[in-house]
Amino acid sequence: MILKIRVDDLLRTTLATPSRDLVTRTTGAAIRLRIERAIADAPCPTTLLDFQEVGVLDFSCADEVVAKLLLLIEDEHYVVLHGVDETQAEAIDHVLSHQDLAIAIVPRAGGRQVLGRSTPDLLAAFEAVHAFGSGSPDRLADRLGWSVERTADALQTLALRRLILAANGTFSPLPLQ
Amino acid sequence: MRVVTIPRYFDEKGLDTVAGELQPWPPEDKLLFDAHATRWASPYGFTAMLTAGQALRDRGAELPRLRVPDDQAVSSYWAKAGFFHHAAEYFELHGKVPRRAPVGSSDVLLPVTPIRQSEDVHQVVGGIQQSAERILTSELHLKAPDSMRFSMSLSEACQNVVEHAGGPGWVAVHAYNWRERLKRRVVVIAVCDSGVGFRASLEPTQARHHGDRWGDKAALEDALFHSVSRFPQPGRGQGLAAIKRFVLQHKGRLSIRSGTARLAHLPDWDNGPPLQDGLPFFPGAQLQIVIPSTEALPP
């Protein structure tokens, strides 16, 4: 089950003067609090934040909404961003990299992407899990042409960063839609 | 009454002259800001003048006088820029003050706008996107994502007032031709506040690291070069870094004056000093961003 939250709806109902822009720390903190409450109230392990109708996202707000949310939510909860545009992705990538955090997104232009702290191995393993589906390190190692140790290391790191799901030695993609 | 002469061309350099005439700060005499011979003011000049008025009021000074420019074309432009609308609150205006003309000119992308709280930043960002999109893309030749980055930088610059200044500030954005200096059209953002300044903002956490070197210059270097913030959280201090990146990407110019120092990121086309220390004191902080068009003006 996925909890879907339209960030533009939160903006509309949080600000005194409606705006499409996610700017300022004050606004970011208010929006994050509403997301935290929605997550606490819903029995879903994954939350999808929809940025499709959001305009400007500045660095301060990216820090308040995305980075702080990742730091505050429980370890078993997953967050995916949807409909993120090029400049929003830049802001999110910057603030997450600065704090050793990462998140999976579906860009507005389509596809999938990891923003924040990552390595070429992590990005390749993330792509493999999403392209080939769930599997053990053995299976994905074959697909990637890597050793099992290298594959397992990358998959475990992705799981620790909440970029993929892990259960009983099987690694699965996050529901990105 | 002490007369403070507003320079003929009131921009960043002009502020240093005005600040010099305001010493010792805060001035005890009643002041007359004399702009009768002023021919032009940049967004920096407008916002800095309002900052002076605000700072004097905050310190309980007698309401200063401001003689408006004699040249009607100049004073009309000042009205169009939204300056007199706000100046009337901080100065006793003398001379012929034109009624505020509706902003329809392509020069004034954002008239002088007060920044007091988070909502004001939303208004600024929303307003600039409505009014400036065409200028930024068709005259400055910025691509659509760069136009968004411009708004992000503007937002971060304004937020510094709300987050750090501890007092109100002003923002203005104009576009004009730097035909002689650069042969390009430029867009200029100025954000000035009369708050505590960088030194006082960072002093509780940074002064001990610098010892005797601590001052306005060290505080500006910490903020601009090392992304230091008065807040301890790791996500803080990134706003100025983001502005700096945007400015560098566009071969623009970023300068910040606070107290007695000014620090600047200078592009190839500017051979001014990157660091000035020992300037006459001026309250708060004053930031200016200049983004040039990617294409030269026709001859």
- The closest alpha carbon to B35, from B55, B57, B52, B56, belongs to B52
Residue written as tokens 């999110």?
Answer: A92
CATH at residue A74: 3.30.750
Do A126 and A66 share a domain, yes or no?
A: no
Task: Name the residue range of residue B40's domain.
Answer: 2-296
Query: A23, B155: Cβ pair inside 8 Å?
Result: yes
Rounded to whole angstroms, the Cα distance separating B94 from A129 reads 72
**pLDDT higher at A4 or B131:** A4
Q: What pLDDT band is residue B290 in, cutting at 50, 70 and 90? A: very high
Rounded to whole angstroms, the Cα distance separating B46 from A4 reads 46
Residue written as tokens 């200078």?
Answer: B266
Do A108 and A148 share a domain, yes or no?
A: no
What is the average pLDDT score of chain B? 91
CATH at residue A162: 1.10.10.10
Q: How far is B197 from chain A (nearest CA, A)?
A: 20
- What angle, 0 to 180 degrees and rounded to 10, lies between the N-to-C axes of helices B144-160 and B118-134? 150
Does position B231 have pLDDT exceeding 80, yes or no?
Answer: no
Rounded to whole angstroms, the Cα distance separating B17 from B19 reads 5
Phi then psi for B167, rounded to 5 degrees?
-165, 175
The token pair at B42 is: 């940049």
Instruction: Answer whether the bond into residue A43 is a cis peptide, omega within 30°.
Output: no
Helix (H, G, I), strand (E, B), or coil: what is residue B158? helix
Does position A53 have pLDDT exceeding 60, yes or no?
Answer: yes
According to DSSP, the β-strands at B184-193 and B92-94 are unpaired
Reported ipTM: the value is 0.87
Quote the number of domains for chain B: 1
Do A101 and A172 share a domain, yes or no?
A: no
Give chain A positions within 8 Å (CB) of B239. 58-60
Does position B105 have pLDDT exceeding 70, yes or no?
Answer: no
* Residues whose CB is less than 8 angstroms from the CB of residue A160 and which lie 6 or more positions away in sequence, other chains included: none
Quote the number of domains for chain A: 2
pLDDT in tens, A95-129: 999 999 999 999 999 999 999 999 999 999 999 99
Task: Count CA within 13 A, CB hemisphere, residue B176.
Answer: 16
CB contacts < 8 A (A, B): 89
Share of chain A above pLDDT 70, in %: 100
pLDDT of residue B101: 61
Query: B152, A86: Cβ pair inside 8 Å?
Result: no
Q: How many CB atoms lie within 10 A of CB B29?
A: 12
pLDDT of residue B134: 77
pLDDT of residue A17: 85
- The closest alpha carbon to A115, from A62, A77, A71, belongs to A62
Do A122 and A145 share a domain, yes or no?
A: yes
Give chain A positions within 8 Å (CB) of B121. 23-24
Q: For residue B155, give the nearest of A56, A64, A98 by CB distance.
A: A56
Q: For residue B235, give the nearest of A24, A90, A99 by CB distance.
A: A99
pLDDT of residue B226: 86
Task: Name the residue range of residue A122's domain.
Answer: 118-177
Do A111 and A126 share a domain, yes or no?
A: no
| Last residue of one domain, picked from the residues A117, A146, A161 | A117
Which of A19, A25, A54 should one mutate to test binding to chain B, selecting the residue with the greatest count of B CBs within 10 A?
A25
Q: For CA atoms B238, B197, B168, B14, give the dihedral sign.
A: negative
Do A23 and A95 share a domain, yes or no?
A: yes
H-assigned helices in B39-82: 43-58, 72-80
| Residue-level length of chain A | 177
CATH at residue B92: 3.30.565.10
Do A37 and A107 share a domain, yes or no?
A: yes
Does position B214 have pLDDT exceeding 90, yes or no?
Answer: yes
Between residues 80 and 99 of chain A, which touch chain B (CB distance below 8 Å)?
A: 85-87, 90-91, 94-95, 98-99
The token pair at B297 is: 């003006």
Q: What pLDDT band is residue A74 in, cutting at 50, 70 and 90? A: confident
- What angle, 0 to 180 degrees and rounded to 10, lies between the N-to-C axes of helices B144-160 and B238-249? 140
- The closest alpha carbon to A60, from B193, B154, B110, belongs to B154
Share of chain B above pLDDT 70, in %: 97
Between residues 13 and 72 of chain A, which touch chain B (CB distance below 8 Å)?
A: 15-17, 19-21, 23-27, 55-60, 63-64, 67-68
Give chain B positions within 8 Å (CB) of A21. 122, 125-126, 129, 151, 155
